[in-house]
Structure formats: structure tokens, C-alpha cells
Chains A and B, each alone.
Chain A
Amino acid sequence: MQKHASEHPVSRPQDAATAQGERGIEIRSVTKVFGTGQAAFRALDAVSLEIRGNEFFTLLGPSGCGKTTLLRLIAGFEQPTGGEILLGGEAIGHLPPNQRPVNTVFQSYALFPHMTVAQNIGFGLEMLKRPKAEVQETVREMLALVRMEHLAKRRTDQISGGQQQRVALARALAPHPKVLLLDEPLSALDYKLRKEMQSELKRLQHETGITFVFVTHDQEEALTMSDRLAVMSEGRILQVGSPREIYHHPRERFVADFIGDTNFLTADVLSAQGPSARLRLTCGGEVAASVPSGVTAQGRVTAAIRPEHVRLTAPGDGDLDATLETLTFFGTDTLYHCRLADGIALTARVQNAEPDGQPTAPGTPIGLRLAPGAVQVLTD
């Protein structure tokens, strides 16, 4: 224990700026199989991933996609069936959780019910056998960081869910780990508290300079909080990138569908060159599209376009012709549900810029204009 502590001097907040660009976590073709024989379940299938030092990284995916398993492998609660996990260039896959400079914020918080708030926060440092004065000092620091000074002596069942969340955060941050793992920590909170904690987490990550690995199934949370994110499905990582990249340039149908709302179109490739292509849509009409890097677009493909990238115009004036079927008023915008000539449904999201604008009546033919570069060719 003490040996480990001296070998891995964990970065303190003030070192954060200088530590920029340090090596984070490398996951090298990690596989995790639960059970054996017929009952075997492959939770992770040769997953490779690089998480940079000091970034806010999110693992996003539906339940059962393997994101929590990956988190537990990094924490050390599970051992990989195959592959390697490196932290700062050192293999840590074989180390038990108590020898990894990594701490976890659990979904259920897992606060120790027989200890006070302050005792919970100090637990990690106490186990690291830090001097008493240092433990007290850090606990005070952490209580201030999460704004809980006034509740230090409370028992953990005497504080609210949001406060428990802050204590769980402070407890995991107190030993100044290299990496903080967060397993859907906001899922138990109501909407308003969740919003509050989202910005709180961003602030804490910024102030401590610790690498945050955040697991969630909430795409909005992932988009608003992450520096980069990985979209996972069925034990594989489908795409890694910044929220902007993932949102605007999804590579696969699953990614485009899981994040945000999307219209799917079928089209034939007319010509393709590098990252761009010209497509003829099956409903008629030619459009320019972007192609994911490393993919040669040819033949029949699926393309995606976000509803907010579709604009309504007069019939014959747009890229496509369609019939307006229904519309849904959302306050800030209105959704126009249209049908294309080949029977495919397409939705346009239009901002209600003028309060007294008259919406187009359902049943009328309209033209649709697609924003330049908004059509994205997908690899299925």
C-alpha cells in the first residue's frame, strides 16, 4: 500500500496545468467474458480505446452495452479475460482495486452508513496511512470543494440524495486519484438536481485536473459534458470523438440513431471522392454528402440527416419534394413530419422565430432544403 503510494505520486490540483497532455488510460483489445460454456456472455469484445490525461471522457451506450463492465475493469473489480489495461504507460490489469490510483463514484453512491460525512471523505486517505493532520486538511478542502462544510458531522442517511452524491464525489476525489470513474452517478437525481450536478462535475473536473471517465446512457448528458466520448453497443466501441464530431458525423446507423434525432434516407452513390460524395436519393433529387474517413462509398447506401438541418420552402424550390403530413408544436420549435415521393418519412425541425407566423397546413405539398454538408453517408 505505502509502496504503491510512493510509486504513484498522484497529481494534486495545482499540478493540473503542468500535467496537461500526460498519458491517460490505454485499453488494448480488452475482452471480458462472464460465465463459461453455454452460459458464457461476451460483455466486451476486443475493445481498444485511448483516454487522454485530464480529459472528461464519456462511455455512452444503452444498458447492457458493456460500458459499466469497462469501467469496472479499469477500477479493478473485474479482471479482463484478454487484453491489457495501461495507466500512464504502466500495465495495471493485474492489480487489485486498492493498488490502483483510480477511484470510483458508484451509481448507488455506496456511502458507508456507519460513518459521518467527514469520515466517509477521509476514508481513502486514512487507508493510505496519510498523517492525521493531512487527512483532516484534505477532508476540509474536499468539503469546501463540494460545498458541504456545514454537514461534515451528519450521518449519511441524514442528508438528501444530491448531498449524498456530493459526498460520494468528495470521497472519491480526496485521495487525488489519477483517474475518477463515474458510474451513472446522476441517474438517481431528479431533473433539476441533475442539471446542477452536470455543471458541478464539469467544474470539479476543471478544478482538479483529474481524468474523468463517465458512464451514462443519457446522450444529452454525454454531449453536454464530455471532451470526448465513445459510443458503445453490444460489447464494442462504435465511434470515438468529440461530441460535435459524433453528432454531426456519425459513422454508423446505430450511432446516428442513438444520439439525437435522425432521418434515414436510402440513396445510390453517383460519385465519391475522399470525404465527399454525390448521392441520388431514392425519392429523386441529388445531394452532396460527407463520407466517413476510410470508407469508399459505392452502390446503395444509407444516409442520415438531422431534422434541424432540413428547411421548408415552396414546392419545387428545394432539394426534395414532399407532402406535409402532420406537425407537432414544441414551443421553441415545430416538428414537420413529411413524406417523400418514395414513401419514406422525413422530419424537419424548424425554430419558431416569429411568434405569430402561420404554420403550413397539413396535406399541402412542400419543398425541403437540406443544409450543405448535413447529409452523412453511414456504414451499416
Chain B
Amino acid sequence: MATTELDRPKTASPPEARDPEREATRRRWLLNLPAIVWLSLFASGPLLVVILYSFLEAGSYGGVEWAFSTEGWFNVLLTRDIFDDTLQIQDAHLTIFWRSVRLSLLTTLLCLALGFPTAYFIATRAPQNRNLWLFLITIPFWTNLLIRTFAILEWIRAQGVVNSGLMGLGIVEEPIQMLYTDFALTLGMTYVYLPLMVLPLYASIEKLDFRLVEAAYDLYATRLQVLRRIILPLVSPGLVAGSILVFIPSLGAYVTPRVLGGGKNMMLGNLIELQFGQGRNWPLGAALSLTLLALVMVALLVYVRAIQKGASDG
């Protein structure tokens, strides 16, 4: 026993000192391998294809011609007059960009306004009841997105529940036009993405030390001041995360604007689909996809900077 223990360090020590580290590195790689394979096959690969396609010529019946062209990128914002080749701003695209950004921001604000009180309510319940409330929040996910969107459609269409009710009660004479408006898009997206706001907000508020709220209230702060000066700064990571989680999918929303916006109230997602479908302009579709990606990355950069600022502030 004693001799083996004395012997071992002499013979086995040098390789042992390096081995665990090498072993750990190898294990890390092995563990990451599925993710690496998955991401290269289904994320990086397709992205490279999209980048490639955005620099090719459009085929007459869809697809691409293997010739270099910047026409796809060119068409994102500009259009060439068919008669005299003068350049014009692509108004339709600008309108769609603007609508996407505007409605996504509006959706994010609405989700914040609805999600914050909800998350606060859940976080302030007795601990054993919180899971039940969180469970209720996730119930909409049990059904398919398309079905939920059609349910909204059923509520707000001209002969839908709301309009029939209002007319039945004699409050309005004619159905209110809600479907195929920005209102319908915002309503639909707010409904779909609200849980994505509630969950991160809940996680932040749940960690909040409510004695700080009492302390501020004791130090003459009004309820509004407590919210603004104590609660909001301390739950800001949840606010930012929730906003990002709502804003990004809203920006690329496809199903909701398709069903509730009709053909005329397109958002970026629908515009991209149009180029790959009826538009038969794959390079433009690819370029639009990358534009959307760029918008998302800008949003993420803002997010990271806000987090870093929050961390250094407090």
C-alpha cells in the first residue's frame, strides 16, 4: 500500500497532469458535437445558400440562374423604371418595412403593458400557487398557431362574434371593419406572443426582493415612484429579454398577417414568401430575408448594450 502510493507519483504524475485537461476538452467537443452538426446542417448551411442566392440572377420560372448579379439587393429598396431606366425608391417595400417595424414595436409595447401586471400578479402569489398560474399561461401553446389565429379571425370578422354581438345589442348598425387592418395584425400578434413576454418578466420579478419595495414605500415614495425607481430598474433584464422575445418573431411574423391582414396588409414575412412564390424572384426574396436578419441583429445589439449598461449601472 505504502510503496504503491509512493511509487505512483514518480511514474504516473507527468502524464496525469496534462491528461484531465485534454480529457475535459475532448468531452466538451463530444458534448457539443450534436449541436455543431445540427447548426451547420440546418442553420449555417441554409444561411450560406440564402447569401449565395441573393447574389444570383432570378430564373424566369422561379429558382436562380447561376450568374452573379446584385439585382436582388438592388430591388430591396429601389426599382428601375421599365421605360427610361431611372431609379425610384421601392415605395411598397418601404411601406412593408415600416409596417413591420411599427406593428412589432406596438405589439411589444402592448405585450409589456399586459404582461407586466400579469407577471407581477403571478410572482406575488403564494409559491405553491405560482406554477398553476404559469401553467395557465402556457395553455394557448397546446393548440396550433394557425388554429388560434383563425379563432381570432372568428371573433373580429364582419359576421364574427364581436360584430354580431354589438349589432344584436343595437350598439352599432353596421359591422365594424376590424379584420384586414393594422388593428387585427396587432391584436393577433399580441395574443400569440404575450406568453413570451410574461415568462421572462415573471422570472425577473420573482427574484425581486420585496423588502426593497417596502423600504422605498417607507422612505416616502408613492406607489408610482416605487414602480419607476425601484421595481422597473431591478426587473429590467426581464423587461429587455421579454421585449426581444416578442419583437423579433413579430418582425418576421408570417401566419398572423397572412390570415388577419389579408393580401394588402403584408409584413416582411409575407413579402419574402411572395418573392419565393408568385413573385418568382428568389434573389430578391433572399436579399429581403437577409435584410430581416440585419434588423434582428440590430435589435439584439441594442439588447446587449442595454444589458451591459444595466450591469454597470447597478
Q: Which residues of A contact B (CB under 8 A)?
A: 1, 75-77, 96-99, 102-104, 106, 108, 110-115, 123-124, 127-128, 155, 171-172, 175
Shortest C-beta distance, B105 to chain A (Å), equals 26
Complex: how many Å from CA A175 to CA B220?
9
Given A113-B234, A114-B313, A114-B314, CB of A123 within 8 Å of CB of B214:
no
State whether A96 touches B217 (Cβ < 8 A).
yes
Which of A96, A110, A155 lies in contact with B215, CB distance below 8 A? A110
State whether B222 touches A98 (Cβ < 8 A).
yes
Question: What residues of B have a CB within 8 angstroms of the CB of A128 in the complex?
Answer: 220
Which of B209, B214, B234 lies in contact with A77, CB distance below 8 A? B214
| Cβ of B151 under 8 Å from chain A | no
State whether B220 touches A114 (Cβ < 8 A).
no
State whether A155 touches B219 (Cβ < 8 A).
no
Shortest C-beta distance, B164 to chain A (Å), equals 44
> Closest chain A residue to B221 by CB distance?
A127
Complex: how many Å from CA A175 to CA B218?
11
Question: What residues of B have a CB within 8 angstroms of the CB of A127 in the complex?
Answer: 216, 219-222, 225
Given A114-B234, A114-B313, A114-B314, CB of A123 within 8 Å of CB of B219:
yes
Name the interface residues of B260-311: CB closer than 8 Å to any CB of A: none
| Cβ of B211 under 8 Å from chain A | yes
Question: What residues of B have a CB within 8 angstroms of the CB of A1 in the complex?
Answer: 220, 222
Question: What residues of B have a CB within 8 angstroms of the CB of A97 in the complex?
Answer: 214, 217-218
Shortest C-beta distance, B113 to chain A (Å), equals 23
Which of B215, B217, B220 lies in contact with A112, CB distance below 8 A? B215
Complex: how many Å from CA A112 to CA B217?
12
| Cβ of B230 under 8 Å from chain A | yes
Shortest C-beta distance, B301 to chain A (Å), equals 23
Secondary structure dominating the interface of B: helix
Complex: how many Å from CA A103 to CA B217?
10
Shortest C-beta distance, B276 to chain A (Å), equals 47
Q: Which residues of B contact A (CB under 8 A)?
A: 209, 211-212, 214-222, 225, 229-230, 233-234, 313-314
State whether A110 touches B209 (Cβ < 8 A).
yes
State whether A106 touches B217 (Cβ < 8 A).
no
State whether A110 touches B212 (Cβ < 8 A).
yes
Complex: how many Å from CA A273 to CA B165?
88
Complex: how many Å from CA A99 to CA B215?
13
Shortest C-beta distance, A4 to chain B (Å), equals 8
Which of B212, B219, B233, B234 lies in contact with A124, CB distance below 8 A? B219
Complex: how many Å from CA A124 to CA B221?
7
Complex: how many Å from CA A98 to CA B229?
15
Complex: how many Å from CA A171 to CA B218?
11
Given A98-B221, A98-B222, A128-B220, CB of A115 within 8 Å of CB of B215:
no
Show 30 residue pairs from A and B whose CB-CB distance is below 8 angstroms, ordered by the A residue.
A1-B220, A1-B222, A76-B218, A77-B217, A97-B218, A98-B218, A98-B219, A98-B221, A99-B220, A102-B218, A106-B211, A108-B209, A108-B211, A110-B214, A110-B215, A112-B212, A113-B212, A113-B314, A114-B234, A114-B314, A115-B314, A123-B219, A123-B229, A124-B220, A127-B216, A127-B220, A127-B221, A128-B220, A155-B314, A175-B219
Q: Which 10 A-B pairs have the closest CB atoms?
A: A114-B314, A124-B219, A110-B215, A127-B220, A110-B211, A127-B221, A97-B218, A98-B220, A97-B217, A114-B233
Which of B214, B219, B229, B314 lies in contact with A171, CB distance below 8 A? B219
Which of A75, A111, A115 lies in contact with B218, CB distance below 8 A? A75
Complex: how many Å from CA A113 to CA B235?
12
Interface centre among A104, A111, A115, A127, by most chain B C-beta atoms within 10 angstroms, is: A127
Known: A77-B218, A98-B220, A123-B219. 14 other contacts (CB 8 A): A1-B220, A1-B222, A97-B217, A98-B219, A102-B218, A104-B218, A106-B215, A110-B214, A113-B212, A113-B314, A123-B216, A127-B220, A127-B221, A172-B219
Shortest C-beta distance, B240 to chain A (Å), equals 15
Question: What residues of B have a CB within 8 angstroms of the CB of A171 in the complex?
Answer: 219
Shortest C-beta distance, A137 to chain B (Å), equals 18
